[in-house]
Structure 1
Amino acid sequence: MAPSKTAKATTSRARLASIIKSARDTMRKDAGLNGDLDRLPQLSWLLFLKAFDQRVEQTGPTLNPDYRPAIEKPYRWQDWATDPDFSGNELKAFVNNDLIPYLAGLKGSANNAEDPRNVLSTIFRDVTNRMQSGTLLRDLVNLVDQIHFDSSDDIHTMAFVYESILKEMRDAAGDSGEFYTPRPVNRFMVQQSFLKLGETILDPACGTGGFLVQAYEELGHVDTATQRRQLHASIRGFEKKPLPYLLASMNLLLHGIEAPQLVRDNSLLRMRDATAADRVDVVLTNPPFGGEEERSVVEKFPKGYQTQETSWLFLHAILDQLKQSGRCAIVLPNGSLFATGDNSIGARIKQKLMRECNLHTIVRLPQGVFAPYTQIPSNLLFFEKGQPTQEIWFFEISLPDGRRGYTKTKPMQVEEFEPCVQWWGGEKREGRKEGPNAWKVSAADVEKSGYNLDIANPHAGDDLAHRTPQELVDDLIQTEREILGLLEELRGEVMERR
């Protein structure tokens, strides 16, 4: 297998989109791949190897004369993937029996989380080549090899296209019960966390890496190589499932982090077993909710706080994972805010939260932000560890005028958070005032209510009482039109699947 030289050329966004479309068309022909939940991981691990070869293996020796390749011959992309004659059953056998087992068996330094061998082995221990045709596999590899990762412009272009693929991945995953955070939501949460270079940032339920990528983009304008290494080491994630872990690793690699600090493990067990040295400055996360954890995980938590509800367990674990003066932005459903009573584990966890942390802000999201996968109303909680809560500010994000909800084709937009950003008062939260969308409650009143945080906007009825009959009728007509639009959209999706 004679490697050919990689051309130093850029890949335009249009060209890249065309290559990705051809790659997906190629995979659709293969009998071993069934839907995007098979095709996208197949494409991802091939993209990962190509990007790793160009961004790490080929640039390593120029940056460090003592650089030791993470992947030895003949397993480097440049050794096997660039030979057009290496195809069919021979290629398929090499990938299945040699390449993937070799990558899965790599062993890096046990004391160096940045060792790329550790990243590679963690990813590839769960990778399977699902393509049955070695010829189609050759065609797919040829297409991936046309993508270039030589410059930062190439990386940004690929990251943009890859995020569109991830969105489709999330759409497909939503059908199987997994929901990912819309980009406007994680962007707002990162922005209002006021991150600083040098802080350790963790998402313990990182999924495909949306919060981590957003945090990296927020802090990514660094001046020196030392600052760059510090930034890369400070962005960390935990993910239990192999597929999101692979996608998150690829996502971070494409955004410029060559050795993503991701751990494939049960996040709750990881946090319960953590030491003081493992604590972090910032947690940004949308933990799974509505699920149940197995008994062995639940028993890791103190008596009185043991529950199988995942959102409660994550919240409790995060409180212990934060450094003193650390802060958190977390997505929680309305049901978590409501749980009350002396015998409620949820109420006890909220009591712990308010006694150990300043729960300064709760942002109430509109109905259907996670539509069409779930209509469960959700909230964003912002708190800082170290001082007890005295008062809690609430801000309700309103639906845009004329809208009654969100759909897959008409999702939430980042501009809808702008009134809240303006009201926020900067990092020190100065000058906040009550208004149609903002109100506050005292910690004492929350305690009297049994720690019920599901507090409705007290101003919500003001507008309704002053609206004319014509405005109300117009409102009903608009609602009917939106329902009709949703039905037409649903009919179109049904027709596409036939």
Structure 2
Amino acid sequence: MTTAQALGSLLKSARDIMRKDKGLNGDLDRLPLLTWIMFLKFLDDLEQQREQEAALAGTRFRPAIEPPYRWRDWAANPQGITGDELLAFINNDEGVRPDGTRGPGLFAYLRGLTSANGDDRRDVIATVFRGVDNRMRSGYLLRDVIDKIGAIHFTSSEELHTLGALYESMLREMRDAAGDSGEFYTPRAVVRLMVQVTDPRLGETVLDPAAGTGGFLVEAFAHLAGQVQTVADRRVLQSASLMGCEPKSLPYLLCQMNLLLHGLDAPRIDPGNALRHRLTEIGERDRVDVILTNPPFGGEEERGIQGNFPEDRQAAETALLFLQLIMRRLKRAQTSAGRPARAAVVVPNGTLFGDGVCARIKADILEQFNLHTVLRLPEGVFAPYTDIPTNVIFFDTAGPTRDVWFYEQPMPEGRRKYSKTRPVQLEEFADCIAWWGRREEGPQAWKVSGPELIRRDEAGRVVAVNLDLKNPAAKEAVDHRAPAEIVASVIEKERQVLALLDEIKALVAERVA
């Protein structure tokens, strides 16, 4: 066992070593390198455990990684290969392997793995390492990092829990380092709120079609893990509960590692673009019970992707395409828990008031689904990554929509803005969570008729659907001065403006002269 303090110190030491290497440039380089090293150590620990279990059961064990490419073959011995020899083994397409024979280099071997032996882990490993490279220039420093990671015991559930929390903190640091070039990651408090009120149940399938580094899936896994009572329950949790999509190679690697560290043995993350399939080809077998996601917004999809959607619903804006995908992928029948399939989706303010294609998509949600709640998030929740106002929409398959409830989450009293060091906290949503079950109108909550939100022209075509509604309980600023005082103030301001104009005219006249 390694204590939490020792694990934190160990990872800090590994990062300090990487800071000495001239091939790495900040946390955006260091964390991915640390991740693929931990990934290989994790796999080897898991394989050794499964090999022992197979031996006890008298069954055949098929390793995902063969000798001499296993961690124990080339990394476990601190006196093993190092320097240029280590770099060559990892980076080169072909060369001398640790056992003295010639063959593919480590990355070349891992990228070429296939699931021919029926082990899907090989496909995952190959996908991970197709998007990974080794940027460290010193094989000696790399050996030092490997030795540090070698001290972690990935078969200990206590250490995994601690390491998962440490890894989450490193992911946050990486997001901060990314600045404007990074994705707009969902604040953990918002993720937890969405999972809590959507309440996935064991036996239901949960999807995040824009998984990023796996925040929604990690929270959903923890939520479902609390419902496990039997071995059969655990089997359902591990093999038939969570799935995601993430096409970018670096987030894909980070997502895999994030889920592994939090206890999911074999994450099911599709490395392709979730929008790549024609909408009409998505059938019942592709549908799920719960969708939790913050799809990319502000981006533009290529024409080929847009062509997967109905002609009058095509848009370059990524968020609008994801909304259609989410609607298509929700099951129409009740879930195994006897509830309607449901979705919670983060959307920018522009989606609430947009017209044209955007209005038609919102009309589809209102008429085909039950859009029961729009949660209006406080300004600056995504600060400092973006100041775009955001909302969370909640809808299910119990539709069509009769009433839409709006809940405006206030900024905490005394707070003016959020920041990296002072983000939104789950405790701030306590009133919202308490309101969720009882649904009463009040200072923060109001409801409107769903059908009345849709405006059509004389031909019956959707013209507008405005969900950007202001809180009717919000008090406008009222000027309590006497009328004569207000008039005098206006006259005085007008006099000041005229005097300023006279000064400007005089200055211009002087220059002309």
TM norm. shorter chain > 0.5 = yes
Aligned pairs for 1:181-330 within 5 A: 181-221=186-226, 222-233=228-239, 234-270=241-277, 272=279, 273-324=281-332, 325-330=340-345
SS in structure 2 at match of 1:199: coil
**Would you say the 8 A contact 2:278–2:308 is kept in 1?**
no
Q: Which residue number in structure 2 is paired with residue 28 of structure 1?
A: 19
For 1:236 and 1:187, the matched residues in 2 are separated by 18
Q: Which residue number in structure 1 is paired with residue 417 of structure 2?
A: 405
Deviation at 1:123, TM superposition (A): 0.6
For 2:452 and 2:276, the matched residues in 1 are separated by 34
For 2:176 and 2:293, the matched residues in 1 are separated by 19
Q: Which residue number in structure 2 is paired with residue 484 of structure 1?
A: none
For 1:156 and 1:299, the matched residues in 2 are separated by 44
SS in structure 1 at match of 2:16: helix
For 2:283 and 2:84, the matched residues in 1 are separated by 49
For 2:178 and 2:304, the matched residues in 1 are separated by 27
Q: Which residue number in structure 2 is paired with residue 92 of structure 1?
A: 87
For 2:184 and 2:426, the matched residues in 1 are separated by 18
Deviation at 1:444, TM superposition (A): 2.6
User: Which runs of 5 or more structure 1 residues have no equivalent in the other structure?
Assistant: 1-9, 426-430, 469-498
Aligned pairs for 1:135-174 within 5 A: 135-174=140-179
For 1:389 and 1:352, the matched residues in 2 are separated by 10
**Would you say the 8 A contact 2:371–2:399 is kept in 1?**
no
CA deviations on 1:252-272 (whole Å, 9 max, x unpaired) are: 111111211001001111473
**Would you say the 8 A contact 1:56–1:258 is kept in 2?**
no
For 2:479 and 2:412, the matched residues in 1 are separated by 20
**Would you say the 8 A contact 2:277–2:308 is kept in 1?**
no
**Would you say the 8 A contact 1:238–1:264 is kept in 2?**
yes
Deviation at 1:327, TM superposition (A): 0.7
For 2:327 and 2:165, the matched residues in 1 are separated by 34
Letter of the 2:176 counterpart: D
**Would you say the 8 A contact 1:333–1:377 is kept in 2?**
yes
Deviation at 1:67, TM superposition (A): 2.3
Deviation at 1:94, TM superposition (A): 0.9
Give the aligned CA root-mean-square deviation in angstroms: 1.8
Deviation at 1:104, TM superposition (A): 1.1
Matched, 1:102 2:109: yes
- Aligned residue pairs, count: 448
Deviation at 1:326, TM superposition (A): 1.6
CA deviations on 1:396-425 (whole Å, 9 max, x unpaired) are: 111111111101111101101110000000
Which range moves more in the overlay, 215-224 or 243-252? 215-224
Of 344, 353, 373, which aligns to 1:361? Answer: 373
TM-score (norm 1): 0.87
User: Which runs of 5 or more structure 2 residues have no equivalent in the other structure?
Assistant: 93-104, 333-339, 456-462, 482-513
Which range moves more in the overlay, 365-374 or 28-37? 28-37
For 2:201 and 2:412, the matched residues in 1 are separated by 32
The alpha-carbon distance between structure 1 residues 99 and 208, as it changes in their structure 2 partners (threshold 3 A), is same
The alpha-carbon distance between structure 1 residues 216 and 447, as it changes in their structure 2 partners (threshold 3 A), is same
Aligned pairs for 1:414-429 within 5 A: 414-425=426-437
**Would you say the 8 A contact 1:52–1:258 is kept in 2?**
no
For 2:238 and 2:314, the matched residues in 1 are separated by 35
For 1:56 and 1:281, the matched residues in 2 are separated by 32
SS in structure 2 at match of 1:317: helix
CA deviations on 1:440-497 (whole Å, 9 max, x unpaired) are: 01013211382100011111117x55999xxxxxxxxxxxxxxxxxxxxxxxxxxxxx
Of 31, 42, 45, which aligns to 1:40? Answer: 31
Q: Which residue number in structure 2 is paired with residue 66 of structure 1?
A: 60
For 1:467 and 1:412, the matched residues in 2 are separated by 35
For 2:441 and 2:29, the matched residues in 1 are separated by 50
Deviation at 1:170, TM superposition (A): 1.7
Matched, 1:394 2:406: yes
Of 53, 72, 75, which aligns to 2:69? Answer: 75
**Would you say the 8 A contact 2:402–2:450 is kept in 1?**
yes
The alpha-carbon distance between structure 1 residues 279 and 141, as it changes in their structure 2 partners (threshold 3 A), is same
SS in structure 1 at match of 2:309: coil
The alpha-carbon distance between structure 1 residues 207 and 271, as it changes in their structure 2 partners (threshold 3 A), is farther
For 2:249 and 2:180, the matched residues in 1 are separated by 18
Of 1, 4, 14, which aligns to 1:13? Answer: 4
Q: Which residue number in structure 2 is paired with residue 373 of structure 1?
A: 385
